Amino acid sequence: MKAMSQPLVPFRCTCKGPQPALVDLGNGRMVGLLGLREILEQFRAQGRESSPELGEELLAAVKVHNYVADSVAELYKAVLLREYEAYCAARP
């Protein structure tokens, strides 16, 4: 029996839970984070300014649905702040 190859189709979650988002950690490392867009929108709706404290809060919110090792927590804070700033800049 001959195997049929299927074209690759981007995954689109149809569930009502947190949606996945790909984030570039640098050096070509990509990671999927559940609920990131929803988290960014929540903080933007509150009018939050980018700050080290916000980085801590973003990380805590991301950890609700994602595992983040302690050894990369500082990297994630910096990346999450970068993502937040880009998200807000795209939605003035």
Sign of CA dihedral 9, 11, 16, 21: negative
Residue with tokens 């973003």: 58
Render pLDDT for 55-92 as a digit per residue (tens, 0 to 9): 999 999 999 999 999 999 999 999 999 999 999 999 87
Residue with tokens 């805590």: 60
Render pLDDT for 5-27 as a digit per residue (tens, 0 to 9): 555 555 555 667 778 899 999 98
Distance CA 15, CA 88 (A): 26
- 73 contacts: CB under 8 Å, gap ≥ 6: 59
Comparing 39 with 16, the larger pLDDT belongs to: 39
pLDDT of residue 92: 77
